[in-house]
Amino acid sequence: MATLGALLQHITQQNQQLQKLLPLSAEQQRAVDKKFRLEFNYNSNHLEGNRLTYGETALLLLFDQTTGDHEMREYEEMKAHDVALKMVQEEALDIERPLTEQFIRSLNKHLLVRDFWKDAQTPDGQSTRKKITRGDYKKTPNSVILPNGEMLHYTEPGKVAAEMAELIQWTNEHMHKEDPVILSSILHYRLVRIHPFDDGNGRVARLLMNYILIRKGYPVVVIKSSEKKQYLAALHKADAGDLPAFSEHIAEQVVWSFDVWLKAAKGENLEEPDDLDKELALLKNELDRRPNNFEKKRSEEELQIIVTERSVQVASAIEEKLEALKDYFVDLTINISAILYSSNNNSGIDYTYNTDKFTAKVNEGLKKYPYLRGLNIGVKGTALKKATERTDIIITNHFTFNEFDYSITINNKKEPTLKKAYGQPFTENEIKHIIGSNLRILIDTIKSATGVSA
């Protein structure tokens, strides 16, 4: 493992190399921004127990879509953290503005989304509950149990304001004196050691660390949740007086960030060994949200359902809608035709529409001739009474059966009116669409034959 000095020297060389390759193209910039946005938000929240996967994080932040069985709080926290990262990026680029207490408290306020109650313990070990007020400094003590079993007590509530003021002053004074990695890691550690808020301290510390790095022209640094043990171990070493050990850990993450930027600047693929797994998880989440359009293939069972149930459903809906036009024709009928065949014989069933009789007839025919060749729903209007010369109207709704779906085409149009997967019933809107297509032909023909323009 490289020493802190060697790491800082390597980072300086990486930065010099990157400066020669800047600016990035628009495409390169989008790719690197997307990667760091997802990596930072996912990992920083995952460190604190947020259960959204990398794929779910991408779905939420890039497409504003949710999936998975999570508490609403977890989705809100992730989106709020993304807003806080943007706040840090904007604030850091305003180089004339010093770091302020107000900004730090505003970060905590945005991260926590809303005030809430959480379980706690009194100094004598009794269970209690306390209200977490976002953006406010803690009013009760907080502490953590170290791996060795000892209790580490953070800054007492009454001293928080003074220690935070001193930390902010120290940070601003050293902004142009200290190496960015050293300055940012010390700011991170000291804020965690104060633990000024009742919740969100780790996230605020990682955001402020990046505030320093971004201001100094460095890339966003990501503390990976997969390396949580190493991260906490480095913090514990700092607690024991070895602060350079924590700076060294942060420097290793900065090296990774520069490597990503350099790859982007050189036009190289930004994928890492586990990125394909992340992309696969994102793809799976997106696919799970979509319906199965090709779950079933054409089968005797599916065709029988279409013939005996769905065609009758459509024909009944058309007939009901056309009832208002029956008086304007000498005869207006709905007809369902099913052509059945076997391997050696053909048998056509062409029966004037009557639900019960048609269904019974088809079921009887399917026993002897189990293969469906064609299915039509016909509308026939004989002799339009208001026309100046005899006008008949014929509409054919023809079913075509493919391997994974079937379609309904009206009057031999080039494109089908509706395509439907096997195993899926008609929706109300689909039936309305078929009825509407039939009605449009009828209305237009009647208007043309009668001269009615209304």
Catalytic residue set: 195
Residue recorded with tokens 């700011």: 187
The number of angstroms, rounded, from the C-alpha of 137 to the middle of its chain's C-alpha atoms is 34
Q: Is 144 annotated as a binding residue?
A: no
- Give the residue carrying structure tokens 């007839």: 361
In the three-class reduction of DSSP (H, G, I as helix; E, B as strand; rest coil), residue 196 is classed as: coil
200 belongs to an annotated ligand binding site: yes
Give the up-direction half-sphere exposure of residue 7: CA atoms within 13 A in the CB hemisphere. Answer: 23
Does the annotation place 199 within a ligand binding site? yes
What letter would DSSP give residue 199?
Answer: S
Block residue for tokens 């080039």? 414
User: HSE of 289 in the Cβ direction (CA atoms, 13 Å)?
Assistant: 14
The structure tokens 């023809």 sit at 398
Report residue 352 as tokens: 């004037």
How far apart CA 36 and CA 223 sit, in angstroms, is 11
Count CB atoms within 10 A of the CB of residue 26: 8
Q: In whole angstroms, what is the distance from residue 176 CA to residue 169 CA?
A: 13
298 known member of a binding site: no
The full DSSP string for 330-396 is EEEEEEEEEEEE-SS-EEEEEEE--HHHHHHHHHHHHHH--EEEEEEEEEEEEEETTSSS---EEEE
Shortest CA distance to 421 belongs to which of 308, 297, 336? 297
Is 281 labelled as part of a ligand binding site?
no
| 201 among annotated binding-site residues | yes
202 annotated ligand-binding residue: yes
Does the annotation flag 206 for ligand binding?
yes
Q: List the 405-410 sheet strands across, edge first.
A: 346-352, 329-341, 371-384, 393-401, 405-410, 418-421
Q: Which residues are annotated as a binding site for ATP?
A: 199-206
